[in-house]
């Protein structure tokens, strides 16, 4: 499946909220014609209405890809309208959390090519990371095309099996919220030491953003970067001695991720 095939046969977005809109914006910027995109969304944004896509119109008979981006609780109402496209040549690419490939196969037919993906919210600024895995009907060409599409909003990694999705959800899917809370806590700690709320927040945001960018670009591991900035008996060492206690951040991170993973499994099992 080539990009020209998407332009010719069409791409359908089932749901176009923040994640779907971020992806669509990336595709349009990369040259996908708006006339090749069909969107089904009961509450379209003003931005979406201005893009020139086929909004809530009749769908093409056999689109190249259907991107499922509705909230999981809306799936039972939204997906049946697309059942006629199952067991055919249309690839279904899902970015909806908690819905297994087996569930889609039950709803669409077990001969349907399906790829399940887990993006995260930094996709809204093309800084996301998405993990994906396909069923047995998803070909190498399907995976390549999906990676190209998902690459419009950040990095893409391929999983060995669907069983890894819950762990991905706990780390990168939910992870941005953990980092946002760390920014909150770091700013509050600055306030407690006499900084104004505005200055403390500015310092906290810039510090986390800068450290993340450095970790992405540096050849050293995060562990080595930590060592590089830690002078013996200096201020950073004093702070890390508290943060790195076994009962502090390491334990909290393990428990946090485990709680998210367990909840993801619960949702997947209904």
Per-residue pLDDT of 141-169, as tens digits, reads 999 999 999 998 999 999 999 999 999 99
- Would you call 270 helix, strand, or coil by DSSP? coil
Task: Read off the pLDDT band of 183 (50, 70, 90).
Answer: very high
Q: How confident is the model at residue 71 (pLDDT cuts 50, 70, 90)?
A: confident
- Per-residue pLDDT tens over the stretch 166-178: 999 999 999 999 9
Instruction: Break the chain down into helix, strand, coil percent, rounded to 5.
Output: 55, 15, 30
Joined together, the tokens standing for residue 77 give 């109402």
Higher pLDDT, 125 or 188: 188
- Does the pLDDT at position 1 exceed 60? no
Note the pTM of the prediction, 2 decimals. 0.90
Return the structure tokens found at 38.
């069909």
Are 55 and 49 contacting, i.e. CB atoms less than 8 angstroms apart? yes
pLDDT of 74 over the 90 cut: no
**Domains, the chain, ordered by start:** 3-164 (3.40.50.720), 173-268 (1.10.3730.10)
pLDDT at 198 over 80: yes
Q: 267 or 240: whose pLDDT is higher?
A: 240
Q: Measured between alpha carbons, how far is 112 from 107 in angstroms, rounded to an integer?
A: 10
Least confident of 22-26, 86-90, 176-180, 215-219: 22-26
Question: How many residues in total does the chain contain?
Answer: 270
The residues near 11 (Cβ < 8 Å, ≥ 6 apart) are 27, 32, 36, 37, 38, 63, 64, 65, 66, 67
Contacts of 3 (CB under 8 A, 6+ apart): 32, 145, 148
């Amino acid at each position: 499946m080539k990009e020209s095939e998407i332009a010719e046969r069409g791409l359908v977005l089932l749901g176009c909220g923040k994640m779907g809109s971020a992806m669509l914006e990336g595709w349009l910027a990369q040259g996908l014609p708006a006339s090749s995109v069909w969107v089904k969304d009961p509450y379209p944004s003003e931005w979406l209405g201005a893009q020139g896509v086929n909004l809530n119109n009749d769908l093409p008979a056999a689109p190249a890809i259907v991107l499922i981006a509705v909230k999981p609780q809306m799936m039972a109402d939204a997906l049946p309208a697309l059942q006629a496209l199952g067991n055919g040549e249309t690839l279904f690419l899902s970015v909806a959390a908690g819905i297994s490939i087996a569930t889609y196969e039950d709803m669409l037919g077990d001969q349907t090519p399906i790829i399940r993906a887990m993006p995260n919210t930094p996709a809204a600024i093309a800084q996301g990371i998405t993990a994906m895995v396909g069923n047995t009907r998803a070909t190498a060409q399907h995976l390549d095309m999906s990676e190209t599409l998902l690459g419009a909003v950040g990095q893409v990694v391929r999983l060995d099996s669907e069983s890894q999705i819950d762990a991905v959800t706990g780390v990168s899917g939910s992870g941005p919220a953990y980092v946002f809370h760390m920014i909150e806590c770091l700013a509050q700690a600055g306030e407690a030491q006499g900084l104004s709320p505005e200055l403390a927040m500015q310092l906290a945001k810039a510090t986390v953003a800068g450290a993340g960018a450095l970790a992405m670009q540096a050849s050293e591991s995060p562990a080595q970067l930590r060592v590089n900035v830690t002078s013996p008996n200096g201020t950073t060492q004093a702070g890390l001695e508290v943060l790195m206690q076994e009962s502090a951040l390491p334990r909290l991170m393990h428990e946090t991720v485990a709680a998210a993973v367990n909840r993801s499994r619960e949702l997947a099992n209904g």
